[in-house]
A and B are shown apart, each in its own frame.
Chain A
Amino acid sequence: MKEIDARGLACPAPVLHTKATLQEEKPAAVKVVVDNAASQQNVQRFLESQGFQTTLQREGGDYFVMGRCGEVAGEQPKPIEPAAVEHKKILVLCATDRLGTGDDALGLKLMVNFLRTLKEMGPELWRLVFVNNGVKLTVGGSDVLDDLKAYERSGLKIMVCGTCLTHFNLLENKQVGETTNMLDIVTAMQVADKVISI
Chain B
Amino acid sequence: MVFPTDENVIVGLDRADDAGVYRISDDLALIQTVDFFTPIVDDPYWFGQIAAANALSDVYAMGGVPKTAMNLVAFPIKEMDITILRRIIQGGVDKLSEAGVVLVGGHSIEDRELKYGLSVTGFVHPQRVLVKKNLREGDRLILTKPLGTGIVNTAVKAGMASAELTARVTNLMAALNRTAAEVMASFDVHACTDVTGFGLLGHLSEMVCGSGLGVRVFAGRVPMIPEALEYASMGLIPAGAYKNRDFREAMVAFAEPVERAHRDVLFDPQTSGGLLISSQGGQATELLEALKQNGVRDAVEIGEVIAGPEEKIWVI
A binding-site residues for B, Cβ under 8 Å? 10-12, 15-16, 36-39, 41-49, 140-141, 153-155
Contact = CB atoms under 8 A, between A and B. Distances in A.
Interface of B: 76, 78-80, 112, 154-155, 157-159, 232-239, 241-243, 260
A168 B198 CA distance: 41
A49 B235 CA distance: 9
Contacts of A43: 235
Nearest to B151: A12
Contact of B234 (A15, A39, A41, A155): A15
19 contacts: A11-B236, A11-B238, A11-B239, A12-B154, A15-B234, A38-B237, A38-B239, A42-B236, A42-B237, A43-B235, A44-B235, A46-B236, A47-B235, A49-B233, A49-B235, A140-B80, A140-B112, A141-B79, A141-B80
Nearest to A38: B239
Contacts of B159: 16, 153-155
B78 A141 contact: yes
Contacts of A41: 235, 237, 242
Given A47-B235, A49-B233, 15 more contacts: A11-B238, A12-B236, A15-B236, A16-B158, A38-B237, A38-B239, A41-B242, A42-B235, A42-B236, A43-B235, A45-B233, A45-B237, A46-B236, A49-B235, A153-B159
A33 B79 CA distance: 35
B157 A45 contact: no
Pairs A-B, 3 closest by C-beta atoms: A153-B159, A45-B235, A42-B235
Given A38-B237, A45-B235, A11 B79 contact: no
Chain B contact surface mostly: loop
Nearest to A150: B159
A80 to B, nearest CB: 10
Nearest to B237: A42
Contacts of B234: 15, 45-46, 49
Nearest to B154: A12
Contacts of B78: 141
A42 B241 CA distance: 11
B222 to A, nearest CB: 20
Nearest to A140: B79
Nearest to B260: A45
Contacts of B233: 45, 48-49
Q: Kindly name the residue among A12, A15, A37, A39 whose own CB sees the greatest number of chain B CB atoms within 10 A.
A: A12
Given A45-B233, A141-B79, A36 B157 contact: no
A11 B232 contact: no
Contact of A11 (B80, B112, B154, B260): B154
Contacts of B155: 12
B198 to A, nearest CB: 16
B244 to A, nearest CB: 11
Contacts of A155: 159
B151 to A, nearest CB: 10
Contacts of B242: 37-38, 41
Given A38-B242, A153-B158, A154-B159, A11 B76 contact: no
Nearest to A172: B112
Q: Kindly name the residue among B154, B155, B159 whose own CB sees the greatest number of chain A CB atoms within 10 A.
A: B159
B168 to A, nearest CB: 19
Contacts of B112: 140
Nearest to A152: B159
Q: Kindly name the residue among A43, A45, A140 whose own CB sees the greatest number of chain B CB atoms within 10 A.
A: A45
Contacts of A42: 235-237
A47 B235 CA distance: 8
Nearest to B42: A146
Nearest to B236: A12
